[in-house]
Copies of this chain bind each other. A is one copy, B any other.
Amino acid sequence: MQEIPYKIYLEENEMPTQWYNVRADMKKKPAPILHPGTLQPVTVNDLAPIFCEELAKQELDDTTPYIEIPEEIRNFYRMYRPSPLVRAYCLEEKLQTPAHIYYKFEGNNTSGSHKLNSAIAQAYYAKKQGLKGVTTETGAGQWGTALSMACSYFGLDCQVYMVKCSYEQKPFRREVMRTYGAKVTPSPSMNTNVGRKINAEFPGTTGSLGCAISEAVEAATTQEGYRYVLGSVLAQVLLHQSVIGLETHTALKKYGIKADTIIGCAGGGSNLGGLISPFVGEMLRGEADYEIIAVEPASCPSLTRGKYAYDFCDTGKVCPLAKMYTLGSSFIPSANHAGGLRYHGMSSIVSELYDQGLIKARSVEQTSVFEAATTFARVEGILPAPESSHAIKVAIDEALKCKETGEAKNIVFGLTGTGYFDMYAYQAYNDGTMSDYVPTDAEIEKYLSSLPTV
């Protein structure tokens, strides 16, 4: 057999030309999303005032298995894709494990993460529809950065509502967005009714993601030629992110490697869903079997401690409801939670796959995550994002189990991005001031008790 290189790069002509829509192969589909007013399944027409039409169609399409990637998007992908599937030789040696560890590295682009895969698709469809621009919210700024880059490429206006405390405390991502021409507004702002109302009610507030979503949605629906876009959770986002899994699948096949365990971090589920889609497809069609592990923070444990129920996708309760594993739409992780993965719910596709037993879930505490991140950085040379490091933590755990059992498992995990804009969190870890937080059962119960009755 061919020797496995450190980095497996596909040729450009081996890159996917179609996204894979895993819902098409699911016998039991994810539950439909519901209109927040009528509580009836939404239609493309319901979604059209908020979302681009083509994206609304993709959101509701659970039967077409493969959807063509337009040439313009494929050209953009070629600027930073195919992303490498890396054999973690140095990590294996460090751990002295018989396991073979691979990671799909999505951080080699200026947005620093996989978010760009969907941002460029969403910007493309907005442009194609003849829109002037898009609005969105961003917390730490990973999604906002990706969207800014995508909009800059297609000449679209990009309006980002950035949670005020991030805007002030994390100025670097804000400046990356501005460099790409985006208008970045600290939220709550005085641009929108909802922003003015919140500022009047809570003077000096530093904002929240829920408030920023509400402002972005209002901005999209009150300006001619604008729509709202979202970087995770939605089925359309998982569809676009399937490019991660498809490349991984092709690369493994090219070298005759059969994955045993596939691991991804999970916040809203976009990276995990994209990575595992083609593999889950094989499981659904009875062609292969894999152990799939979703890793979430112990401080925001939607899969491991949440409830599978209909819930609002946003704190402001203006977006549709989805059936998902959720902690309740008012849940906000403790302030000492460092990384992303802070969404209260989980993609309805990932939720349904979890409910069907096709994937497992595990929660990990952040100090152990940064310990794994530091180990990884020192031997593999890449300083990982806190989000991605959740997957690293479990990949290391699994590789150490192999060391005990002597099994030479093939472990594949998603390294979604780099941590260059997360050095405050690393500083806390380096200084020994980072702490862990796990919500009590009573706290979880409190948030879950306010789930809507559907």
Contact of A153 (CB < 8 Å), options: B109, B378, B423? B378
The chain B residue sitting closest to A77, CB to CB, is B6
**Assembly CA distance A175 to B152 (angstroms):** 31
| Interface flag for A406 (CB, 8 Å) | no
Bits for A5-42, please: 1 = Cβ < 8 Å to B, else 0: 11101011000000000000000000000000000000
CB distance from A322 to the nearest CB of B (A): 32
**Assembly CA distance A382 to B109 (angstroms):** 7
Interface size on A, residues (CB 8 A): 43
Asked whether, in the complex, the Cβ of A5 is within 8 Å of the Cβ of B426, the reply is no
Asked whether, in the complex, the Cβ of B179 is within 8 Å of the Cβ of A374, the reply is yes
| Interface flag for A255 (CB, 8 Å) | no
Asked whether, in the complex, the Cβ of B383 is within 8 Å of the Cβ of A78, the reply is no
Q: Is chain A's binding surface mostly helix, strand, loop or mixed?
A: helix
Known: A418-B110, A421-B420. A426 touches B179 (CB 8 A): yes
Chain B contacts for A108, CB-based, 8 A: 108
Bits for A402-428, please: 1 = Cβ < 8 Å to B, else 0: 000000000000000010110110110
| Interface flag for A430 (CB, 8 Å) | yes
Asked whether, in the complex, the Cβ of B79 is within 8 Å of the Cβ of A381, the reply is yes
Asked whether, in the complex, the Cβ of B78 is within 8 Å of the Cβ of A6, the reply is yes
| Interface flag for A305 (CB, 8 Å) | no
Asked whether, in the complex, the Cβ of B176 is within 8 Å of the Cβ of A423, the reply is yes
| Interface flag for A379 (CB, 8 Å) | yes
A156-192 with Cβ < 8 A to chain B: 171-172, 175-176, 178-181
Most buried by B among A110, A171, A427: A110
Asked whether, in the complex, the Cβ of A179 is within 8 Å of the Cβ of B377, the reply is yes
Asked whether, in the complex, the Cβ of A382 is within 8 Å of the Cβ of B110, the reply is yes
Chain B contacts for A424, CB-based, 8 A: 175
CB distance from A98 to the nearest CB of B (A): 20
| Interface flag for A90 (CB, 8 Å) | yes
Contact of A171 (CB < 8 Å), options: B12, B152, B427? B427
| Interface flag for A380 (CB, 8 Å) | yes
| Interface flag for A239 (CB, 8 Å) | no
Chain B contacts for A171, CB-based, 8 A: 423, 427
23 contacting pairs across A/B (C-beta < 8 A): A5-B78, A9-B9, A79-B90, A80-B381, A109-B382, A110-B381, A110-B382, A110-B418, A110-B420, A171-B423, A175-B424, A175-B427, A175-B430, A176-B420, A176-B423, A178-B426, A178-B427, A179-B378, A179-B383, A179-B426, A179-B429, A180-B377, A420-B421
B-binding residues in A (CB < 8 A)? 5-7, 9, 11-12, 76, 78-80, 90, 108-110, 112, 149, 152-153, 171-172, 175-176, 178-181, 374, 377-383, 418, 420-421, 423-424, 426-427, 429-430
9 closest A-B pairs by CB: A172-B423, A6-B78, A175-B423, A152-B378, A110-B383, A420-B420, A175-B427, A178-B430, A5-B12
